[in-house]
Structure 1
Amino acid sequence: MPSDGGTDRKAEGVAAVDRAFAILNAFRATDVSLTLNEIAQRTGMYKSTILRLIASLANAHCIVRLDDGSYQLGSMLLHWGGIYQAALRLDDHVPPMLRRLVLETEEGASFFTREGNLRVCLFRVDSPRSVRDHIRTGDLLPLDRGAAGRVLQNFDRTLVSPDEFPSQPYVFTVGEREPDIAAIAAPVFGPQRSLRGALAISGPAARFSEDRLPIMRRALLKAASDLTRRLGGDSTIFERWERQAGE
């Protein structure tokens, strides 16, 4: 049943902002525009409430009413997106994610980007264990060997059509770069599904056992999804992969 602002127990200002965001979040990547009925169905709000909020959103250029009566996202969102992208720094987002992965898996975590025919380690957090994979920030490694290198090759839309992306959102390798070293890596996307880099967990192959690998995979994909969202990418791609894997 639609909800009205009068029944919301939150402070009036906060509740109004929450409802305004709900209207903006009703729009999806495939939507050209939405009718009032469609917004009401997706938000669960009364049309009268939606119209009041849309008036304020339109004044701020966050929503535009088209001639046919439907609604489109406004130019202010593009303006905010430009500000966000200009201020976005990998240094603010990648290291915390790597530390989280190391805490959850006790293996080393790295973030790689492509540099010509090589891959460079931009960020690295070592495993707390004495026996570990030794990678340093700034290391240049082969692009055609190792899980991270294969991710950078297989998920870059400038090299491969998205229709040809692997069916699973990660690559697992053993002994490709160094004997007895295993790694699992996943792509991290930015706006327009651009590939920002590869997030990887690596360590002695003996610790990447059948019972441990699913735990590492879940932690890695959750981190890749979170980092994609932080970098302005579409993290629903990971959700679709997860649904397909469960079918």
Structure 2
Amino acid sequence: MILFLGVLMAATDGGVAAVDRALTILDAFTEADQSLTLTEISKRVGFYKSTTLRLAESLERFGYLRRLEDGAFRLGPKPLFLGALYQKHFKTSEFVPQTLRQIVDELHEGASFFVRDDDKRVCIHRVDSARAIRDSIQEGARLPLTVGASGHVLLAFSGGQGANYDRIREQLYAISMGERDPETAAIACPVFSVGQKLAGAISVSGPKYRFESADIPAMVAVLEKYSAQLSIAFGGIWPKKLA
């Protein structure tokens, strides 16, 4: 990888611009593309064909692209190798707690990250609010799937059937008011990993009376923002364009 970046830094386009352009070419490929012609790549990235060809040939030399017999390009094996390294060394403890702290700083309520474990949801990361009156959840707590916003999200994105789960899949969040506990409320969003598989759910929770008087759409927007960021860290894609 270092050698690859070194070659790009020495390219005639110069420095960081050449790196940016090469990575833009890789980003031009989507899940639906088995291969792309030089013309198709050029149109997608907005480069001259000569520039696209020069960068594509560099990417090919280092295994990031592979040229087919008909002259079209497809992704090579190197991105898969790097992806495997990323997954091998990825630790939720390096990413999730920091994200939860940012949620708490913005919303002033406790934030959690849940994963599904059979018929339960397990809190594997938690950051409490500094407020005196707050929702209390411990890391490692096993809670029901069928009540609570994060439980609804986990069920919705792991095959749950019914109008409620259809709505959650469409809007990408769930709200619960007094379900798990009559005095607490929560909002949750899904987090996606590689291949758009469900990685877990992040939620913000607190006393019900504060949620009842809060700007819920604004809270949802904050949670969506961090769900999208965390999905990218997990190798997934947030499926909705954020404002």
Fold shared, TM-score > 0.5 on shorter chain: yes
1:205: which partner in 2? 208
Residue from 144, 149, 152 that aligns with 1:150 = 152
Tell me if 1:175 matches 2:191.
no
Sequence identity percentage? 45
2:9: which partner in 1? none
Query: How far apart, CA to CA, are the structure 2 residues paired with 1:151 and 1:45?
Result: 41
Query: How far apart, CA to CA, are the structure 1 residues paired with 2:177 and 2:94?
Result: 31
Query: How far apart, CA to CA, are the structure 1 residues paired with 2:175 and 2:150?
Result: 9
Q: Deviation of residue 220 (structure 1)?
A: 0.4
Aligned residue runs from structure 1 range 100-115, under 5 A: 100-115=102-117
Give the alignment's TM-score, normalised by structure 2: 0.89
Instruction: Answer yes or no: is the 8 Å Cα contact 1:108–1:201 preserved in 2.
Output: yes
How many residues were matched structurally?
Answer: 229
Gaps of at least 5 residues in structure 2 are 1-11
Query: How far apart, CA to CA, are the structure 2 residues paired with 1:68 and 1:168?
Result: 43
Q: Any idea what SS the aligned residue of 1:199 has?
A: strand
| Matched AA of 2:42 | A
1:62: which partner in 2? 64
Query: How far apart, CA to CA, are the structure 2 residues paired with 1:139 and 1:58?
Result: 49
Residue from 182, 185, 198 that aligns with 1:195 = 198
Q: Deviation of residue 166 (structure 1)?
A: 2.4
1:41: which partner in 2? 43
Query: How far apart, CA to CA, are the structure 2 residues paired with 1:166 and 1:47?
Result: 41
Any runs of at least 4 consecutive aligned residues in structure 1 with deviations exceeding 2 A, and if so which? 163-166
Query: How far apart, CA to CA, are the structure 2 residues paired with 1:92 and 1:151?
Result: 23
Q: Deviation of residue 210 (structure 1)?
A: 5.8
Gaps of at least 5 residues in structure 1 are 1-9
1:3: which partner in 2? none
Query: How far apart, CA to CA, are the structure 2 residues paired with 1:173 and 1:231?
Result: 26
Query: How far apart, CA to CA, are the structure 2 residues paired with 1:33 and 1:137?
Result: 45
Tell me if 1:230 matches 2:197.
no
Query: How far apart, CA to CA, are the structure 1 residues paired with 2:98 and 2:158?
Result: 24
Query: How far apart, CA to CA, are the structure 2 residues paired with 1:127 and 1:14?
Result: 41
Instruction: Answer yes or no: is the 8 Å Cα contact 1:118–1:143 preserved in 2.
Output: yes
Q: Any idea what SS the aligned residue of 2:231 has?
A: helix
Query: How far apart, CA to CA, are the structure 2 residues paired with 1:84 and 1:166?
Result: 28
CA RMSD of aligned residues (A): 2.0
Which digits, 9 at most, give the CA deviation of each residue in 1:64-98, with x for residues without a partner? Answer: 11122211111111111101100111001100000
